[in-house]
Amino acid sequence: MKPNCVTAVQAAAKKLGRAALTPAQLQAIDDRISATMRQLARTDPDWQTKSTDQRVIEAAQMAMADIQAEAARKVANAQRQILKTAATDIRITEGMAQFKEGRSRALVNDIDTTGHYITGIKQEAVGNMVDLMEAAKTGEGAGFGRRVLMFLFDADNPRMTRDLVTDIFNNGGGVSGNKIATEGAKAYLKVIENLRQRFNNAGGDVGRLEYGYIPQPHDAAKVRGDGTANGRGAWVDRIMPLLDRSRYVLEDGSRMGDVEVRTMLERAWETISSDGANKREPGAFAGTGAKANAGSESRQIHFKDADSYMAYMKDFGTGSMYDAVIGHVGRMARDIGLIERYGPNPNSQMRMQFDLAERIDGSIKRDFGLRPQSYWDQLNGTAGTPQSAKLAQLGTDARNIQTFGKLGSAVISSITDLGTFMTTTGYNKLPYWDAIGNIGKSAASKDARDFMTTHGIIAESMIGDMNRWTGDNIRHTWSGRLANSTMKLSLMNAWTDTLRRAFSLTMMQGMARMSKTEWGKLTEWDRTLMERKGLTEADWKVITKADLTPFGGKEHLTPEAIRATGDERANEVVAKVLGLIQDESEFAVMNPDLATKTIASGGATQRGTVRGELARSVMQFKSFPIAMVSRHWRRMLEAPQVTDGSAPALANRVVYAGALMVTTTALGAIALQAKQLVAGKDPIDMQGPKSPKFWAKAVAQGGGLSIVGDFLLNDPSDQPGDALGNLTKTAAGPALGAVGELATKSLTNAYKAAKGKPTHAAAEAVQWGRANLPYTGIWYARAALDHAGLHALQENLSPGYLGKMQQRAKKDFGQDYWWRPGTGGPDRAPDLGKAVGQ
């Protein structure tokens, strides 16, 4: 700041009764005016014709107006924070009375309900981007090879992606000439604009760019290069020609020269390549600050066109453009949900709530052994933000390898989903026959699937979560795409999506029927269930005003029906309803809840840390059995006790436990026998001497005893490999178990060889490799692969290996093979009578 300007500013401060400004304060004022001048230089076409004094005066006036607006927003946000604090306190106090538990437990329940609320916001937003998703799936202009890649690995259609990005950059103006891309771009732009406005209405401050915004997910490792000045220089050299240089101007309106732009980009490189570590002060609080300020920072990298954006993504991006878009919508939904529930500064709100809970409860109380802080870190994204992107990626790849190597036959085990599906249907007092009919509709009717997607019931596979088995988003990388492809080819995605959509459709129909009844006339059971999910009498008054949406001869409660009421609280009610439906569908077809995700991440330890990645690897594949405890066991123990006789039979703990155990065990037995047939064996005799062992395995297979069954009833010696190695895999997780198994077998075989004893090292090596390769375990292709050559290879490498396999089947369960190992074709049909001792 020039001396005469300093004098003027100090004089103005003195007139206002303020002390003399410090050099730091003067620098902040100078930086603010300079930034405002650059902003005006981009938007005012006459800027360069004005004198320097005029520019400074206009910039100062605008900066003052901005500061006043910010001050007003701070006051408004302070008021919002007070109101949200009062609302949060009311919810938690009511929760304490409802569950008759301490404040810590009620606080955790409120955090969990907020998670459902965020899910509802995201589900509706993604549902409104159907045109974008349709554009992403279309193979128009793609050759056969590209279509195969699109099916198997969710690869992009390059032409469609280019046209989409072109239309998005041009605000959906149809510049590409591709109608499908134009409609997809418009849908996306409308969604993110609605989310931006909703965020700002709740206290946020996110401006709108002149062009259509697309997220820029950077691969820090690619950006970093060799991590030296050479790596930085290479990145800057590559990105310079891609930028829209008209956006980089000096205070006088002239464009920045190469030197200035390079300096700016070098600073950006420091941040991107270090995952933001260069901006973190040692020992500083690691919270995310006021969520209302999220997204208000200036975006420094502006590409000149769609081709430049795609060129950058190819060289330095991570995932696809679609991954970036879904991730961006998810982050916006989370931020909106947090500030709408807890105010513009959710972290400050939570620190106060943690203190209150500790004071009222007398100490920090844990839920499932975890502090409330852990649940909060899981919900707000702290646990999922990697400290080291490279380490996080290594951990994710290791887990994905286990996913595509081990879960090719998971769909057979998932027959047991029908047990939890029907149990949850009965608990919610929904018609069983409607639920069964909706399974058929969800599987066979494209119109039904499109109806649900449009109305916010989004298939898990469409957004790439697959949290059920992995705990991670598995589509972003090479290993993730292989894992997702394995799930798709094994029909696991289709099975899960069909059942979950069917249940959601049944819930939409059930809530439509209830919406014709006033709150006070609903049964006590229905009111209690909705209150536990965060729906209140005020919310219900909005719902009862909705004109229901007809489809397939039935009425449905949809987001559009609620919005059509014109009620000012429609946004909030839609998020609650969709969150409720989604959560219940994840009871019906098991998916980890907040408690499970927190436990499976080692108490919300941060990704990209040694401890965080180790915890996630140890807990891999344990999410399902843990969710059985946190969802169904807890529901059984906490079923509301009502006095008007409206409770279903499943409200009784004994009945609930019995229904769950009987259905899952029976289905577990079916799944277990199906696995025998797929492996080429006759069924196991369920009535003979080995029947106790069979039924113990059926209980474990069904999942009714959750992780207890995994450890107590699963015989580790019944899996390929030694008992100790298999127990290690169960306890330490599949990734560590696979490494341990390889090391153990190598040492054991080396010892045997040194002693002159026979080994099956080569055949075991083939078996180990097969267990960690994609597609080799897919249930319908496994037998074909074995008999097409893998069995012969193992026998050639280790003579007698196949005979040992047959002896083991005979010893364990008295089984014979209907398709003997090493033979080209089946000897006979399976002897199904063996299942009942015939």
Over residues 208-265, the pLDDT tens digits come to 888 888 888 888 888 888 777 788 899 999 999 999 988 888 888 888 899 999 998 9
Rounded-to-integer distance, Cα 105 and Cα 103, Å: 5
Cβ atoms within 10 A of the Cβ of 570, count?
Answer: 18
pLDDT at 805: 80
Higher pLDDT, residue 465 or 652: 652
Q: Provide the sign of the torsion angle of the four alpha carbons 486, 772, 820, 718, taken in this order.
A: negative
Average the pLDDT over each of 276-285, 536-545, 705-714 and give the range with the smallest value: 276-285
Cβ atoms within 10 A of the Cβ of 518, count?
Answer: 11
Q: What is the pLDDT of residues 498-514, one digit of tens each?
A: 999 999 999 999 999 99
| pTM of the predicted model as reported, rounded to 2 decimal places | 0.88
Give percent of the chain above pLDDT 90: 43
In the predicted model, is pLDDT for residue 709 greater than 50? no
pLDDT at 286: 40
- The per-residue DSSP string of 433-492 comes to HHHHHHHHHHHH-HHHHHHHHHTT---HHHHT--HHHHSS--SSSHHHHHHHHHHHHTTH
Q: What is the pLDDT of residues 327-380, one digit of tens each?
A: 899 999 999 999 999 999 999 999 999 999 999 998 888 888 889 999 999 999
Rounded-to-integer distance, Cα 802 and Cα 782, Å: 16
Q: What is the pLDDT of residues 418-470, one digit of tens each?
A: 999 999 999 999 999 999 999 999 999 999 999 999 998 887 777 765 444 44
Identify the three-state secondary structure at position 365: coil
Higher pLDDT, residue 581 or 772: 581
Q: What is the pLDDT of residues 125-159, one digit of tens each?
A: 999 998 998 888 888 888 888 888 888 888 888 88
Beta bridge partners of 556: 549
Higher pLDDT, residue 532 or 721: 532
In the predicted model, is pLDDT for residue 472 greater than 70? no
Helix axes 158-169, 321-342, angle to 10 degrees: 50
Higher pLDDT, residue 57 or 194: 194
pLDDT at 10: 63
Tokens found for residue 339: 């500030």
Q: What is the pLDDT of residues 541-573, one digit of tens each?
A: 999 999 999 999 999 999 999 999 999 999 999
Rounded-to-integer distance, Cα 464 and Cα 473, Å: 6
Mean pLDDT of 172-179: 91
pLDDT at 283: 35
pLDDT at 406: 86
CA dihedral 419, 420, 424, 425 (to 10 degrees): -40
Confidence of residue 291 (pLDDT cuts 50, 70, 90): low
Average the pLDDT over each of 457-466, 535-544, 782-791 and give the range with the smallest value: 457-466
pLDDT at 9: 63
Backbone angles phi, psi at 101, to 5 degrees: -130, 175
Helices and strands, number each (H, E), in the chain: 41, 2
Confidence of residue 281 (pLDDT cuts 50, 70, 90): very low
- The per-residue DSSP string of 528-543 comes to HHHHHTT--HHHHHHH
Return the half-sphere exposure (C-beta side, CA atoms, 13 A cut-off) of residue 812: 21
- In sequence order, which residues have a C-beta less than 8 Å from that of residue 139 and are 6 or more positions away? 146, 147, 150, 157
Closest CA relative to residue 725, chosen from 748, 698, 751, 707: 748
Q: Provide the sign of the torsion angle of the four alpha carbons 313, 314, 319, 322, taken in this order.
A: positive
Q: What is the pLDDT of residues 617-639, one digit of tens each?
A: 998 888 888 899 899 999 999 99
Average pLDDT over the chain, rounded to an integer: 85
Confidence of residue 16 (pLDDT cuts 50, 70, 90): low
Buried b (16+ CB within 10 A) or exposed e, 199-214: bbebbbbbeeeebbbb
Higher pLDDT, residue 413 or 474: 413
pLDDT at 282: 36
- In sequence order, which residues have a C-beta less than 8 Å from that of residue 754 and are 6 or more positions away? none
In the predicted model, is pLDDT for residue 655 greater than 90? yes
Beta bridge partners of 817: 681
Confidence of residue 474 (pLDDT cuts 50, 70, 90): very low
Identify the three-state secondary structure at position 96: helix
Mean pLDDT of 476-500: 89
In the predicted model, is pLDDT for residue 42 greater than 50? yes
Return the half-sphere exposure (C-beta side, CA atoms, 13 A cut-off) of residue 309: 25
Return the half-sphere exposure (C-beta side, CA atoms, 13 A cut-off) of residue 472: 34
Return the half-sphere exposure (C-beta side, CA atoms, 13 A cut-off) of residue 268: 19
CA dihedral 219, 223, 225, 231 (to 10 degrees): 180
In the predicted model, is pLDDT for residue 716 greater than 50? no
Domain regions of the chain by residue span: 3-98, 220-278+299-317, 389-621, 659-836
pLDDT at 296: 47
- Helix H, strand E, coil C: the string for 799-822 is CCHHHHHHHHHHHHHCCCECCCCC
Higher pLDDT, residue 683 or 811: 683
Q: 652: exposed, middle or buried (C-beta count within 10 Å: 0-12, 13-18, 19+)?
A: middle
pLDDT at 475: 52
Tell me what percent of the chain is helix, strand and coil, each rounded to the nearest 5.
70, 0, 30
Closest CA relative to residue 683, chosen from 777, 776, 809: 809
Rounded-to-integer distance, Cα 620 and Cα 403, Å: 9
Contact 132, 184 (CB under 8 A): yes
- The per-residue DSSP string of 619-672 comes to TTT-HHHHHIIIIIIHHHHT----SSS---GGGSHHHHHHHHHHHHHHHHHHHH
In the predicted model, is pLDDT for residue 471 greater than 60? no
Please state, in angstroms and as integers, the Cα–Cα distance from residue 663 to each residue in 238, 507, 695, 700, following that order: 60, 21, 13, 13
